[in-house]
Amino acid sequence: MRRIPIAPRDDWQQKVSSAGLVFHTPEDQEMDRPYWDESACYEFTAPEIDTLEAAGTTLQQMCLEAAEHIIDKKRYAELEIPAAAVPAIEWAWENEPPAIYGRFDIAFDGSGPPKLLEYNADTPTSLLEAAVIQWSWLEEQFPNCDQFNSIHERVIGKWQDIAQYLSKPVYFAGLDNPEDQLTLAYLCDTAQQAGLPTRSILMGDIGWNDERQAFVDLEEQQMFSIFKLYPWEMIVAEEFGPAALDTYTAMRWIEPIWKMLLSNKGLLPVLWELFPNHELLLESHFEGSAPKPRDYVRKPLHSREGANVTIVRNGATIASTDGSYQGPAVLQAQAPIAGFPDNLKPGASRYPVLGLWMVDQQCCGLGIRESSGLITDNLSSFVPHYFV
């Protein structure tokens, strides 16, 4: 694994914009480079890609075992999952309603086994960048090389597989921000390519018809199948949360509600309990359940985008981020630091986090976010890759 400085394409902004990535250079964020950064790329060997693919497949099976364990042992309270959500979670686990995708975030520098940082199994973004934008980049910049990337075909194939279980049209719902809308637009397009009729709606525009006991769109049409890019822990806390739980078995929500168990940072200590010292895991514990080590990363159970993360080394905080996520947390051992020289800032480093994409239980692609600090957050850049 190497980070290689390269010259960006002369017209890269127009090319990525035409492919749908319109916020390639955010104007309202203090970034030291574009979000889509092709001033460098990562080169892997084929054996390294095999290692990453195998890690994703193994971790998926381990996480499913962990979910089964949480359900069997009724460990919901440890993950701060409300009791009202439990019947829907257990129904969804047993009945296996449709699911599409997830993304493991991994620490890896090519010199040791990949290490799981966390699993975004409910609302992962940066999908278009991984599936389409970096593939187009590869075809122009390294046409004789390959890329770990069959995401696009896998997602379309998954929509085709589950089409028979969905009432039509399929609604795509999320918040009104560029990142979420980009991901929703891409997933909506893949569903259309699979032959599904679709409609788009903002989460705030979904209505509840109390007389019909149904969710409705702006035209009062009942909604039966919804892909929502909105976390389940937020849905169940909303005013309409009880209605979503009460009518869960009559709907098709994607991702299904049992994904709450995997996107929760509480998954990490459960995995460590079930698979102690596994080479793909970092030692993790619920805060307060074990003596606090001198070196650790503290993550609130429901934190996202690197918010409210604290890194402690030798008993002192060396990095932290702000945010609105409070409450219980997990303490995770620090992964070996994967730092690479920054081609734009001599003497500085870039720190990548590898996203392994899972579709239909298969690891099918890689996307890389990198930052100037040890915590990957919403100011991190996306950098393409290839392998030889």
pLDDT in tens, 39-88: 999 999 999 999 999 999 999 999 999 999 999 999 999 999 999 999 99
Structure tokens at 372: 């100037």
- Rounded mean pLDDT of 187-201? 98
Q: Which residues contact 202 (CB under 8 A, 6 or more apart)?
A: 173, 174, 175, 176
Cβ atoms within 10 Å of 11's Cβ, excluding its own = 10
Is the pLDDT confidence value at 189 over 80? yes
Structure tokens at 27: 């104007």
Confidence at residue 29, expressed as pLDDT on a 0 to 100 scale: 53
The three state secondary structure string of 210-270 is CCCCEEECCCCCECCEEEEECCHHHHCCCCCHHHHHHCHHHCEEECCHHHHHHHCCCHHHH
Share of the chain above pLDDT 70, in %: 98
What's the pTM value of the predicted model, to 2 decimals? 0.96
* Gap between the Cα atoms of 289 and 212, Å rounded: 46
Is the pLDDT confidence value at 335 over 60? yes
Going through the chain in order, the beta strands assigned E by DSSP cover 2-5, 40-44, 101-107, 115-120, 170-174, 198-202, 207-209, 214-216, 225-229, 252-254, 284-286, 296-300, 310-313, 316-320, 329-332, 340-341, 349-359, 362-371, 381-383, 385-387
Residues 160 and 195 sit within 8 Å (Cβ to Cβ): yes
User: Between helices 151-162 and 178-193, what is the axis angle to 10°?
Assistant: 60
Is the pLDDT confidence value at 194 over 60? yes
Pairing of strands 225-229, 252-254: parallel
**Chain-centre distance of CA 33, in angstroms?**
22
Q: Which residues contact 276 (CB under 8 A, 6 or more apart)?
A: none
Q: Which residues contact 125 (CB under 8 A, 6 or more apart)?
A: 179, 180, 182, 183, 229
* Gap between the Cα atoms of 78 and 88, Å rounded: 18
Nearest CA-CA partner of 156 in 98, 207, 104, 196: 196
Q: How does residue 159 score in pLDDT terms, banded at 50, 70 and 90? A: very high
Q: What rounded mean pLDDT belongs to the chain?
A: 96
Confidence at residue 235, expressed as pLDDT on a 0 to 100 scale: 97
* Gap between the Cα atoms of 98 and 39, Å rounded: 39
Nearest CA-CA partner of 190 in 157, 223, 227: 157
pLDDT tens digits, 195-238:
999 999 999 999 999 999 999 999 999 999 999 999 999 999 99
Q: Is 119 left (phi over 0), alpha (psi -120 to 50) or beta?
A: beta
Share of the chain above pLDDT 90, in %: 93
Q: How does residue 30 score in pLDDT terms, banded at 50, 70 and 90? A: low
Domain range list for the chain: 2-263+340-387
Confidence at residue 377, expressed as pLDDT on a 0 to 100 scale: 81
What is the end-to-end Cα distance of the chain in Å, rounded?
A: 10
Confidence at residue 326, expressed as pLDDT on a 0 to 100 scale: 87
Q: Facing residues of 385 across strands?
A: 42
- Asked if the peptide bond before residue 169 counts as cis, ω within 30 degrees of 0, the response is yes
Q: Which residues contact 136 (CB under 8 A, 6 or more apart)?
A: 15, 16, 19
Residues 88 and 238 sit within 8 Å (Cβ to Cβ): no
Confidence at residue 25, expressed as pLDDT on a 0 to 100 scale: 82
Q: How does residue 383 score in pLDDT terms, banded at 50, 70 and 90? A: very high
